[in-house]
Chains A and B, each alone.
Chain A
Amino acid sequence: MPKPLLVELGAEEMPARVVEGLARQLAQALNQRLKAAQLLGAEAAAPTVHFTPRRLLCMQPGVLEVQPTSEEQVLGPPKRVAFGPDGKLTPQGQGFAAKNHAQVGDLYTVTTPKGEYVAVRRQVGGGEAGALLAEIIPQAFRDLELPRSMRWEGELRFIRPLRWLLGMWGETCIPFRLGALEAGTVSWGHRSLGSGSFAVGSATEFPARWRENFVMTDPAERRAAIAAAATKLLPKGLRLRVDAGLEDTLVNLTEYPDAILGGYSPAYLDSLPAEVLVTVMRDHQKYFAVEDSAGRLAPHFVAVTNQAGDAKGYIRHGNERVLRARFSDAQFFFDADRRISLGERLPMLEQVTFQAKLGSYRDKSRRMRTLADWLAEQWTQDGQVCDAQTAANAAELAKCDLTTDMVKEFPELQGIMGGHYALASGQTAAVAEAIADQYRWESAPRSLEGAAVSLADKLDTIAGMFAIGEVPTGSADPFGLRRQANGVVRTLIERELPLSLAAGCEQALAGYRRELPETTRPELAGFFRERLAFYLREAGGLAYDVVAAVLAVDAEQPLDALRRCAALASAPQTAAVAAVIKRAGNIVRKEGWTTARVDEGLLSAPAEQALHQAVGALPSDAPYADELAAISQLAAPLERFFNEVRVNDENADVRANRLSLLAWTVARLSRLADFGELAGAAPGRG
């Protein structure tokens, strides 16, 4: 009868960020190995995967008692090798028979393309689960791809020392071995709440027996327990500030989570920026911040414990004490940092390396200033003003907070601290906001000047890295250039800013004043084109072919590309015209025709005259949707042209003029998109 297999790897505390991945890998490896060994019935359910910092648990239901049996043919040596001229077995033949536990009478001859061979039938399968599982589990263990691993005794490697193993198939112990450990039927409870080890009678006692010993093996249960504990603690009107990453960490840092509510002096709410308070609580202490219903911080925190309750109040007291010290440190940094203005910090940036080959952050800040100034100029038009002075000042000061103690302590507050310190240095609110917004990944900068600073930073970094050959390839993008380029594209589109990417890159490259390899510009163009296509598909939700058709014409202006995409995606009737445009394009391409100058006097056939007139009448400055509507009306005159006119006229001039007419038509109709890239465009018949 099929029975569940339960495997537990017990370890010293594994890193919170890796347990889930490892547990899933283990379950998958086990499942695959069991299938390969034919020990899983087709109807066996998926495995249950549980994990805590101290254990990976996998229960695979439906593991068969015995492998199904079958017969297979084993091919031996050629017949003339196995049998001597006397018809008796040679030593080689005897060896083959012995190896397969066969008598001479069991051997028979098989004819293959290579000649006659001896063969024997062999029974396969029939292995019993008890014996096979003890081999299969260690194999599955060796299939694991480990993050940074270690040794602790002998040669076995894992992410932290393994301390116990449990292997049970139904009620049977599977004594598999890893290193010096042998699996038994005993597990261990929570370090301080459990009472040491406990015996397990059957795989089906999972997970109830663990729960009795104060281990919530199921991460979902721990997540719910954390939420319930926090809800119970919080005073009315207050809530946890949502932090999914922190929650995941705490779920995998505990076996039996509970929480305590702590407080801190409300004076810190006024004397330190909220971002600092939250970062100290989250990054240093793994505490949830608490806020009111309007999202304002309240002077409380929630700490998740791996302990039941806090009857004596020691845990709350201790955590509050640590947080006081942390906040007092942060206050010290904040006060000390504000004694030196951002401007006074500019010379200190000479000491901070941006990139070994690209100089210091002081060099970068000079380049950013020039670039932001240029961008502001580009964006001051049509009644819109991007203040060049603000953008340039903010760009130059943007990296100064790298020299502050607060940012050295909390690198993730880069930019945000710069904003606070800019205000303290007497800079304008606009400059401060532009500095604060430079690293916003979740949305574009709030002001045009902020967009100029953010783009100056990113374009400068990308251009510099490409200039020294640090181009992202495949999964390797050590400087996060793709993410930065995504930020450039998104800012241009979401803030509706016109900018040619090529011009922007050129301006950024110019800041470096260095000889460039010939490959730099084409690599940059290709890189940005890919990022733009990625944005249009992922954030814009546009179809692959629409994006390809639009970018084939021009990939320089992200905002314009988005508008063309949107018009094309919502244009009702493009399939018919796309097909004929593609046909026309194929003819032009096949002839290698480059002239698009049409001699009207040579247009004799009514169909070619009609086409010329229709194309000439296309609106030239209409909105994209109107232009597309007009283009889709051209399917008829184009089709008529193909039906009634022979391009290959015997008169060479007429032929040339007709090719020019087609070339002109294709060019004129391809200003928005290359219709040949559209999935609906039927293969051309030209």
Chain B
Amino acid sequence: MLNFQELLLKLQEYWAKQGCVLQLPFDLEVGAGTMAPESFLRVLGPEPYRVAYPQPSRRPADGRYGENPNRLYKHLQLQVILKPSPDNVQELYLKSLEAIGIDLAAHDIKFEEDNWEAPTLGAWGLGWQVMLDGLEITQFTYFQQCGGLDLDPIPVELTYGLERIGAFLQDVESIYDMRWNEQFTYRDVRFLDELHASIYNFEKADIARLWTAFQGHEEECRTLLNQFRELPAAARRRFPLLSAYELCLRCSHLFNLLDARGAISVTQRVEMIQRVRSLAVGIASDWMAQQYPEAVHA
């Protein structure tokens, strides 16, 4: 039986053999692995790319003070991007399950319709939630648009929910009871992280300062984008759009924190999603203009 870190290692090993760059987690808070630049920006543009990386996803509103056996503030995803999507991608995926010890002949696997949309990223795709004996273990998505841009070639994104798969493999009722390695459990490694984050997110985070921080990052990002757009084409190459994208991600996380604090009304929520989206969509098209000036002019 695989412990949690072996599970991650096996999946990484499997995807490395399929030619994926093994990346490290992106070192800023993101609400989903798709937001990391290795997914969001790499899927833009024509050149092939394959990457796999574990990514902690932070969703402040999902925090449960470490008390709920199935819900986490910060959960770990394995994010795989294959661009272009290979013909045998479903087969590759099913083999990855075999690689972690799942006997496909003894379990029930279904690909159930699940269309993915991330309004703050201007991104959507069609695909499935993969169900293993009634448990959703993976989001499988053919990206169609990202940052409001039509993608060509079409990349496929596989997002494995590592805690769920780990608890399934170890047959434990609570994520916290999973073996992380031979010596430590998931609780040993992560409980305090969940507890402290829940207390901060729900009780302590200073709403006024969060607003100020949101506005500061948004303004910085906008300023950068305006500067970029005024530059002559020849001078654009070195412009720090990646940093602008990081500012946009910070806004997104601050928005999630404000939401968890109950500081955002329904109408404000729509407006804030729109504000983050306009940054993300702007960066995507600027990124295309910077990286593929010929393609954009054509």
Contacts and interface: CB of A to CB of B under 8 A. Distances in A.
A625 interface: no
Interface stretch (B6-14, B102-110, B231-239, B284-292): B102-110
Contacts of B133: 314-315, 317-319, 322
B111 A321 contact: no
A12 interface: yes
A321 B109 contact: no
Nearest to A18: B113
B128 interface: yes
In this complex, the interface size class of chain B, counting residues with CB under 8 Å from chain A, is 35 or more
A53 B267 contact: no
A151 B154 contact: yes
Contact of B267 (A151, A253, A353): A353
Contact of B85 (A152, A310, A312): A152
Residue among A15, A152, A306, A324 with max Cβ neighbours from chain B (10 Å): A152
A150 B107 CA distance: 29
B109 A160 contact: no
Interface string B119-148: 000000110100011110000001010000
Nearest to A151: B154
B298 interface: no
B103 to A, nearest CB: 8
B144 A285 contact: no
Contacts of B128: 13
Contacts of A152: 85, 142, 154
Contact of B107 (A13, A161, A318, A353): A318
Contact of B266 (A13, A148, A352): A352
A111 interface: no
B85 A311 contact: no
Nearest to A149: B126
A498 B134 CA distance: 50
Contact of A192 (B104, B112, B144, B173): B104
Interface string A301-341: 00101110011101101110111110011001000000000
A150 B126 contact: yes
B87 interface: yes
B187 to A, nearest CB: 17
A322 B105 CA distance: 20
Contact of A325 (B69, B108, B115, B154): B69
Given A13-B111, A318-B132, A159 B126 contact: yes
A265 interface: no
Given A13-B128, A152-B154, A352-B266, A307 B171 contact: no
Residue among A17, A303, A322 with max Cβ neighbours from chain B (10 Å): A322
Nearest to A307: B108
Contact of A322 (B68, B87, B135): B135
A332 B68 contact: yes
Given A151-B144, A163-B87, A356-B267, A192 B109 contact: yes
B153 A153 contact: yes
A19 to B, nearest CB: 10
The 3 closest A-B pairs by CB, nearest first: A318-B133, A15-B113, A13-B111
Given A253-B112, A307-B108, A321-B171, 19 more contacts: A13-B113, A16-B112, A148-B126, A150-B154, A153-B84, A153-B87, A191-B94, A191-B104, A192-B104, A192-B105, A192-B109, A253-B110, A306-B108, A312-B106, A315-B106, A322-B134, A325-B173, A328-B69, A351-B265
